[in-house]
Structure 1
């Protein structure tokens, strides 16, 4: 017969239970979390609180005369009513770019994880190689590629997809293409990490049960890779929705996203209350969409 010790381990009737962990060991996990917690507090929590306070300032103030805290919640309603088309455009562009990244990134990630063999590391380097170049430089390169005198527009005109005066630059398509290119690695890497852990024996079992390749993919590969799909779509959609560089360089004011409006409000018009309200609205909308998406996807591994 044995009794259970106070720390949950079984000990014999004449055995001495092990001593409780020392205080230093109990504190070790919290000490390891301390640097990251301080970083988030200083560079995220404190600025977020300040931004929330700024969004409630009296909008009639100015940078020179100062702003008064009047708890002006109407700033949110005014900002939303004035710029709701930019919110919709941002979500639409980000959604299309995320879908394109998924369609392009899934086959690439699968090929790297399951088929690349000794070329796996080389292909991964090729995926992350664009990160060695500035985001701004990459977008400027797309401006050259999509220009009216560029080779791509010339080819599309020759094969009849574009008319003689058709163009890609300064269109919604250019902005979406720029978003897709710049954020594609954020989709590929989580997908690769998920597919690389896939147990090949499960696919062999599906083949032994006479499942077609398409059915094996739908019943085995795709469900097991859903954590990567969810993580990749989140990592792509969230920054794409707040981006403003692609719309600034590849589009016109007709393609401006909410990030362009926030940038202008902060740095050009110096309307800090409205800019802060727009920032919080964007953050609230994205958080709500992410919460619903993760819950509906049924994938808890990304939380």
Structure 2
């Protein structure tokens, strides 16, 4: 039988493909973004002023692009700018979205994992079905559902729950509903992938020993599904922080998140350096805690082995 082992050049190619992908589609764009965040706007011919002063041989880094994020004007108070408020608001809504997706998605994933193997593909197809529809169409559909003359208000007035429409659109609730709906599959799928590999005979053994169903679930199922919880949480939280479309369509003017601020700085104010600085800070807020977490979990796994 022919050997399936790859030669050394083949191994290097296979290993190098994902690294090349990250280099081209993440590292290079990030370096360009980082470069723009330290320069100043130029003119129509040269959109950005040079970062290198040829006469002195020194770098001309404009730290003001970053400093203005944390302080308003010269001598103004620190951490009281609109940008900081947008960052905090974005992190808060992203956390709420991730928690809601976890609370809703865990029972769904658990139900699919406990279903018969012949039924699971159909249930997973139902979870992935929204991906076959345009993202914008799905968000616009919620506008029709939550509007003053939408489906929910029409139903409540028809059954006598209210005599006039209830303001649901352009609120915190409508924005969280839209974000939870859009990102829910990103929580269900990793949870299912983790739960389906679990040996449910452990629960049966716990029941035989007199453990209540809730206690068995809390002490056995939840710890064994920790990896799926973390993966789903990250898959929901990270894109939610920079979400732009859903807050713009379903949220109100007080729900401006950092994604909208970056858009306005780039396309309305035409201040690309500051927009780049805002994006770099946002990436740092996401990547740095994530890196510390994976370092901690990696060290814990090594200590366990």
Scaled by the length of structure 2, the TM-score of the pair is 0.83
Structure 1 position 42 matched with structure 2 position 24: yes
Give 3-state SS (helix, strand or coil) of 1:197's partner. coil
What is the aligned partner in structure 1 of residue 266 from structure 2? 266
2:177 is equivalent to residue 196 of structure 1 = no
Match of 1:26 in 2: 8
Unaligned runs of 5+ in 1: 1-22
Contact between 1:106 and 1:188, CA under 8 Å: does it hold in 2?
yes
Unaligned runs of 5+ in 2: 52-59, 71-80
- Measured in 2, the distance between the counterparts of 1:195 and 1:155 equals 38
Query: Are the equivalent residues in 2 in contact too, given 1:62–1:271 (CA < 8 A)?
Result: no
Equivalent positions of 1:139-150 (< 5 A) are 139-150=139-150
The 5 A counterparts of 1:162-181 are: 164-181=164-181
Match of 1:281 in 2: 281
Q: Can you list the C-alpha shifts for 1:203-255, whole angstroms capped at 9, x where unaligned? A: 12212221111111111110000000000000000001111000111123221
Change (3 A) 1:64 1:264: farther
Aligned pair in 2 of structure 1 residues 211, 200: CA closer, same or farther (>3 Å)?
same
Shift of 1:153: 2.5
Structure 1 residue aligned with 2:122: 122
Q: Write the distance in 2 (CA, Å) between the matches of 1:163 and 1:241.
A: 37
Measured at CA, do residues 146 and 296 of structure 1 come closer, stay the same or move farther in structure 2, by a change above 3 Å? farther
Kindly state the Cα deviation for residue 110 of structure 1 after the two structures are TM-superposed: 0.2
Change beyond 3 A, Cα 1:104–1:150: same
Aligned residue pairs total 278
Q: Mark the structure with the bigger radius of gyration.
A: 1
CA contact 1:230–1:294 (8 Å) conserved in 2: no
How large is the Cα RMSD of the aligned pairs? 2.5
TM-score normalised by the chain length of structure 1:
0.84
> Post-superposition shift, 1:157?
5.7
